Structure 1
Amino acid sequence: MNIGLYFGSFNPIHVGHLIIANHIIEHSDLDKIWFVVSPHNPLKPASSLLNEYNRLHLVELAIQDNPKFRASNIEFNLPKPSYTIDTLTYLQEKFPLEKFSVIMGSDSYQNLPRWKNYEQLLKQYRILVYERPQYPVSNKLSEQTVVLQAPMLDISSTFIRQQIKENKSIKYLVKDEVIAYIKDSRYYL
């Protein structure tokens, strides 16, 4: 089975994430996409993150109606901070029959040389890159890089958290089930 790994903080997950994932599953040979909730991205500050189990639950709520999507907590029990190459090595050992690809935005793709063992990542795994505005992919770092033109919305989790703090609506930015849970749990206030 071809599985795309969509890594992220998902703090919180929003419709932009879902649109990208849906576009990629429909325009690639992937059978499933796993939303890999990262407990801590080594390139981002941890202080603004909601607890990883709460973020995982929000992802589960957001994708529950799509059988091609799965929420993954695989990095929760791995050493922190999480490095993509270590997660992939672990997944290959645990699921030797699966073929894994990494899904990322072109902004992250341009930062790839800063990642741990990025040469190994490029050599062993296919990278599915969705282009973001202001981050064109002018040169591919490997032959296994596939560039996709996914629809882009100028939405960020940072903006959504700010809206919540200011007691403003996040309707249409995140799924209704996620809004209800965030509101009931008083997240991001």
Structure 2
Amino acid sequence: MIIVYGGAFNPPTKAHYNIIQTTYELFKPKAFIAIPVGELYHKDDLVSFSDRSNMLKLYQKDFPFLIVSHLEEKQKFNGTVETLEKISQEYRDEKIVLLIGSDQYLNFSNWIKYEEILKKYELIVILRPNYKIDETKYDEYNPRIRFIQLDLDISSTEVRNNVELNKDYLMNDVYEYIIKNKLYRR
């Protein structure tokens, strides 16, 4: 099994850290690949790919199994399905599993070729507090969706809005990286 965990990681928080730790312990994948969205992804307030990637790499001291991918760094975003296809080509004999959060699951039908993703790949969905989701919504496409409840109510947006006030949401070395590199200044 290869777990693919994509996201902005803008910045990576203790929630991301706990998600990586928990899913690794539960599933013991052969590889765990974190993929920050690239520079060409349309999202407000993204710091550079390099900074987001470097912050994620700080987790590797605790998670030597973590691979921080540069697959989306420079490419035009054509959907997660394209990224998953590239990973499938690299890991031909492995099952590829996409790891997403409740917020992404709620908007999954807006993803590019979401039906193709559901038919070809298994999903792990991290359930977050205050998100009401229908766990059977995509059963017609894919009955192999696993849901994991984690009580992680941490927001990267809150951190970006006020790093000092929300520094407890960050691992210490990520916080130090943000301060040293003067990220998320308002």
Q: Which runs of 4+ in 1 moved over 6 A?
A: none
Deviations 1:119-141 (A, max 9, x none): 11111100011112223333141
Q: How does 1:85-164 map to 2 (within 5 A)?
A: 85-133=81-129, 134-141=131-138, 142-149=142-149, 151-164=150-163
Q: How does 1:41-60 map to 2 (within 5 A)?
A: 45-60=42-57
Q: Structure 2 unaligned runs (5+)?
A: none
Q: 1:66 aligns with which of 63, 67, 70?
A: 63
Query: Shift in Å at residue 29 of structure 1?
Result: 4.8
Deviations 1:55-85 (A, max 9, x none): 100100133321222211111143x225100
Deviations 1:132-166 (A, max 9, x none): 222333314111211122x22221111111112xx
Contact 2:128 2:153 in 1 (8 A): no
What is the one-letter code of the residue matched to 1:97?
Answer: D
Distance 1:12 1:176 in 2: 12
Distance 1:93 1:30 in 2: 17
TM-score (norm 1): 0.86
SS at match of 2:169: coil
Distance 1:152 1:137 in 2: 18
Find the counterpart in structure 2 of residue 24 from structure 1: 23
Q: RMSD over aligned Cα, in angstroms?
A: 1.9
Identity %: 28
Find the counterpart in structure 2 of residue 84 from structure 1: 80
Query: Shift in Å at residue 12 of structure 1?
Result: 0.4
Distance 2:166 2:59 in 1: 14
| Alignment size in residue pairs | 181
Distance 2:107 2:184 in 1: 28
Q: Structure 1 unaligned runs (5+)?
A: none
Query: Shift in Å at residue 169 of structure 1?
Result: 4.5
Query: Shift in Å at residue 182 of structure 1?
Result: 1.1
TM-score (norm 2): 0.88
